[in-house]
Amino acid sequence: MDFELSGDQRAFRDTAREFARREFAPQAARWDAEGIFPVDALRHAGELGFCGLYALAEYGGLGLPRLDASIVFEELAAACPSTTAYLTIHNMAAWMVTRFARPEIAAEWGPRLAAGEVLASYCLTEPGAGSDAASLTTRARREGDHYVLDGAKAFISGAGATGALVVMARTGEAGAKGISAFLVAAGSDGITYGKKEHKMGWNSQPTRAITFDGVRVPAAHLLGEEGEGFAIAMKGLDGGRINIATCSVGAAQGALAAALAYVQERRQFGRPLADFQALQFKLADMATELVAARQMVRLAASRLDAGAADATLYCAMAKRLATDLGFAICNEALQIHGGYGYIREYPLERYLRDARVHQILEGTNEIMRVIIARRMLANPSTETFQ
């Protein structure tokens, strides 16, 4: 078992770190404060391949393993968790298109998605179907060589500012087997976007509801086959859980770095804060939890890359652990800063706000516990986790 990064992985890490330092870090606070969706920065990321990290190489992506992609996302999230989180969603959509679209559709859309020329949103959640995604009610009925979409989606990242939508809709019976996936041009007739939601965090990416009213989608834009949409969504969510867990690790890394710098600069009672053992213990615990979360994420990514039968289990474990610990580390870093951590002059309150939603999306952490517990009860052997 080798925990060291390969030469290629170190090169990706260093490139992402330099890009984040140059493109994300100087503007992240302004994007957050002014609610700016940084399209130019995202397209610059696309120039380095960061918009198609694991999209298929034959359609313009880099075709990287999920482990390598997580290394890139962690470095970017240390500068701006919100923008990086959107980038992970775009990567998931780009992967779905290059992996499941008809070859001619993948060839048309894949290179533009991978380059960041076209940005994408992922449309699964509905007003009445969050954790119970299999109960979604958006419908797609076949009419000749088109499908007609009717319904609504909620909490869609990038909505109103992206050019492509990956939409899950019901084409058949109730439940998971009746769901199909579609690539939809975001400007199609019959699509309307709701107001931009005012959120606690993730302010560098717009979040809106989307309504579909008689939207005609070419039948060739079906991803996979009819009835395979839920399976595609779940495959996407395994990787999505690794992605969002990685964003929490990155946010925690950024917060810990800020705390380390602060305790060495700030003085109280005539001494640097770094001299106080109580703060040393806090920092030690934060660093230990950060490494534990990172290694759990990388283990899950490795299981997913290997096509392991228990990959979904490990992705759920990684998402639960990393998002809980990541938020806790950000919170401790803010506490170390005292009152300064609560004001926008320092990045701690932004890290905290951005990291909080990670415990909710891509399946709440309560749902992650359900997935883990069901696997344990179905196979009580301790070998399940060896």
Cα torsion 216, 222, 225, 229 to 10°: value is -90
Q: What are the angstrom distances between the C-alpha of 193 and each of 78, 155, 211, 276?
A: 31, 11, 6, 52
SS3 6: coil
* 373 Cβ contact list (under 8 Å, min separation 6): none
List the one residue out of 25, 114, 131 whose CA is nearest residue 61: 114
Instruction: Choose, from 225, 362, 366, 383, the residue flagged as catalytic.
Output: 362
Residue entry with tokens 């078992």: 1
- Please report the sign of the dihedral spanned by the C-alpha atoms of residue 301, residue 302, residue 307, residue 310: negative
- Residue 1, judged by CB atoms within 10 A of its CB (0-12, 13-18, 19+), counts as exposed
81 three-class SS: helix
Q: Could you tell me which of 143, 285, 106 has the C-alpha nearest to residue 218?
A: 143
In angstroms, rounded to a whole number, what is the distance separating the alpha carbons of residues 318 and 376?
16
Would residue 349 show up in a list of annotated catalytic residues for this protein? no
Residue 233, Cβ density class (10 Å: 0-12 exposed, 13-18 middle, ≥19 buried)? buried
3-state secondary structure at position 346: coil
Report the catalytic residues: 362
